[in-house]
Amino acid sequence: MGTDLHQIRNFVDGAFVDGPTTFEKVSPVDGSVAADVHLADSFIVDRAVQAARRALNSGWGATTVPERVALLRRVTDGIEARFEDFVEAEVRDTGKPATLARQLDVGRAVVNFRQFADTVSSEGLDSFLTELPDGRKALNYAVAKPLGVLAIVVPWNLPLLLLTWKVAPALACGNAVIVKPSEETPSTATLLAKVMADAGAPAGVYNVVHGFGASSAGEFLTTHPDIDGVTFTGESSTGSTIMRAVAPRVRPVSFELGGKNAAVVFADADLDATIEGLGRSVFTNTGQVCLCTERIYVQRPVFDSIAEGLAGFAKNLVLGDPHQESTTTGPLISQAHRAKVSSYLDLAVEAGAEVLVGGGIPDLGANLNGGAWIEPTLWAGLDNTARVVREEVFGPVAAIVPFDSEEEAVRLANDTDYGLASAVWTTNLQRGHRVAQQMRVGMSWVNTWYLRDLRSPFGGVGLSGIGREGGRHSLAFYTEPTNVCVQL
């Protein structure tokens, strides 16, 4: 069975395909083997690309918007019908609490398909009546065509959410896709293949290849000469590698990359609301969200109150069995990632940090100690010169740094090579607007975090990415406009 979550296969040209070898997917909860994953070699990747090209050329690329919308709505129904299967697959792969997977990951997957069905249904294109000085007149109008065969490479932190955030608009625009999920989270992309097939997606429109990055499925896919574009969410260094891969063929890319996001807390902020908001922005999904806050700049009069309140928030988090309703916080994705995050815990201490809470590996008992658990951690006593304040950790950690003036806060927040998101906490809305607009980021919140309208632009600047996703911004990447000029 292709959707047996203990045997995870590739999906090519409408059928599940064994790989020449398999690799073990290890549970981050307890270290047990969760599944055997079939590795896609270069031959399987090539088959997937050619299947996508055939599907595109044999009619899928010429389907009407209503036909594509109907498919997206059937896929939405299919995800809802297997909602708990998707929840279980996400929990098995990531170890995140089932309550979080249910609300955030699978819930958003449903919304993503529904949202892009609505967006493509209502989207129009430019048209102009042109009158030239010599008296000639012309009608100019644009026709949107699919970009083509697309490589979709998605990360392990929000695997289904970010997968559907790309697949839904790609299919809405008539493209055919090859998905390469992270080797850490292969299950939901494979389960979605079954839903796609049941919804009537033509063979080759949606393909899944499993494997790693360099010298594996990721490299085979992004360097394939018949790929028309690549969309990727993940580490900035991987984005650079993909850019080099597609540069000789000048293929378009859409990247949402890393972040070292700042929160700025002014003395007039609502402290209770701010502490609750910061708690979510630092610790949600064990800090493994690109939008999570890792730098907190607090105006000096309320520094101690914020530090104390946020440390209390961290102490109240419950690490444990992801299926327990009381569990708030899961493990990191893998032992390798825990080793990386742990190295930053050591670096912080070496740099003279005061550890306000956490700072180590918890003892959760024999049943869980084989997992990739780590303590939620807060530091004080650091500044912007420390590596842990400059480099993305991607864990449940944050440094709290004092400031005095608004100008200083803006300077500190913008002192980074990243530029994904920020949050400003103040009851002075004039200041909120003023400071938020000065943040060198793609998204800037005021008195909230992770509040999203899916039609708004999503993406970053600097090392945080290229391009924007969301609503019509996504459609712009997944389509190729052709202008038609007719002399009247």
pLDDT at 126: 87
Same-domain status, 164 and 278: no
- Find residue 484's DSSP bridge partners: 141
pLDDT at 3: 56
Q: Is residue 328 part of a domain?
A: yes
Q: Is residue 172 part of a domain?
A: yes
Q: Is residue 455 part of a domain?
A: no
What's the CATH number where 394 sits?
3.40.309.10
What's the CATH number where 84 sits?
3.40.605.10
Spatial strand order of the sheet with 397-403 comes to 354-357, 377-380, 397-403, 293-299, 261-265, 421-425, 443-446
Same-domain status, 391 and 309: yes
Note down the domain range covering 210: 7-257+462-487
Q: What's the number of domains the chain is made of?
A: 2
Same-domain status, 146 and 37: yes
Same-domain status, 312 and 173: no
Q: What is the DSSP letter of 319?
A: B
pLDDT at 125: 84
* Dist. CA 301–CA 281, nearest whole Å: 22
Set 256, 294, 375, 392: catalytic member: 256
Same-domain status, 275 and 244: no
Q: Is residue 451 part of a domain?
A: no
Q: Count of residues for the chain?
A: 488
Residue-wise DSSP of 420-474: SEEEEE-S-HHHHHHHHHHS-SSEEEES-SS---TTS-B--SGGGEES-BSHHHH
Same-domain status, 21 and 33: yes
Q: Is residue 1 part of a domain?
A: no
Same-domain status, 348 and 466: no
Same-domain status, 466 and 478: yes
Active site residue 290: yes
- Looking up tokens 């089932």, which residue turns up? 98
Same-domain status, 239 and 382: no
Q: What is the pLDDT along the chain (488 residues), one digit of tens a residue?
A: 345 678 999 999 999 999 999 999 999 999 999 999 999 999 999 999 999 999 999 999 999 999 999 999 999 999 999 999 999 999 999 999 999 999 999 999 999 999 999 999 998 888 999 999 999 999 999 999 999 999 999 999 999 999 999 999 999 999 999 999 999 999 999 999 999 999 999 999 999 999 999 999 999 999 999 999 999 999 999 999 999 999 999 999 999 999 999 999 999 999 999 999 999 999 999 999 999 999 999 999 999 999 999 999 999 999 999 999 999 999 999 999 999 999 999 999 999 999 999 999 999 999 999 999 999 999 999 999 999 999 999 999 999 999 999 999 999 999 999 999 999 999 999 999 999 999 999 999 999 999 999 999 999 999 999 999 999 999 999 999 999 999 99
Same-domain status, 353 and 206: no
Q: Is residue 130 part of a domain?
A: yes
Set 290, 294, 375, 392: catalytic member: 290
CA-based R_g, the chain, Å: 23
Q: Is residue 452 part of a domain?
A: no
* Dist. CA 462–CA 240, nearest whole Å: 12
Same-domain status, 216 and 310: no
- Looking up tokens 């294109």, which residue turns up? 125
Q: Is residue 57 part of a domain?
A: yes
Quote the pTM value: 0.95
Q: Which two tokens stand for residue 142?
A: 């644009």
Same-domain status, 417 and 472: no
Active site residue 256: yes
- Number of helices (H) and strands (E), helices first, in the chain? 16, 21
